[in-house]
Amino acid sequence: MPFHFSLQPVFRLRQSLEERERLRLAMIIGYLNQLNQLIEKLDQEKLRLSSGLEDRLKAGITAGELQFELARKAALEQQKKGLRQQLAKLEEQRAAQKQAFREAQRKRKIVENLRDLKLELYRQEEARREQQRVDDLFGLRHGQLAKQG
């Protein structure tokens, strides 16, 4: 008789829930990486702007041009501030999602451990039955030989 785990549908459900939570976590991590790259690009743009402004100040620029460059720099700062706020929210979501993933993983492992235990018990029972069959066969042969001899 083949092994049958009565909670197999529950096990499959736990596996799919764990996978769903893992994918959600991966998606959040992907967004975090994108935001970090955007912040890095903003920092590079700010550095480029500051360097260019410094060179232009040495060469001489008008007050209007200076005001425009400073406004660009302030806009970049504002953009970076917004991205940092998004980053902080995503970090919170990542922490919460990581916890949800771990919980789903824990629940799956509980059912998996139960399945493994049931499988081990099944194998032990099968080995016992097989030994019983061998013993019975030996007894039958031994009994037939005794009747013949």
Domain presence at residue 101: yes
Q: Note the pLDDT tens digit of each residue in 68-91.
A: 988 999 999 999 999 999 999 999
Domain coverage including residue 69: 9-108
Measured distance CA(26)–CA(4) in Å, rounded? 34
Residue 127 confidence (pLDDT)? 95
Q: Note the pLDDT tens digit of each residue in 24-56.
A: 999 999 999 999 999 999 999 999 998 888 888
Domain presence at residue 74: yes
Domain presence at residue 13: yes
pLDDT above 80 for 97: yes
Q: Note the pLDDT tens digit of each residue in 104-127.
A: 999 999 999 999 999 999 999 999
pLDDT above 80 for 14: yes
Domain presence at residue 23: yes
Q: Is the pTM of this model over 0.85?
A: no
Q: Domain total for the chain?
A: 1
Domain presence at residue 137: no
Residue 99 confidence (pLDDT)? 98
In the predicted model, what is the mean pLDDT of residues 91-109?
98
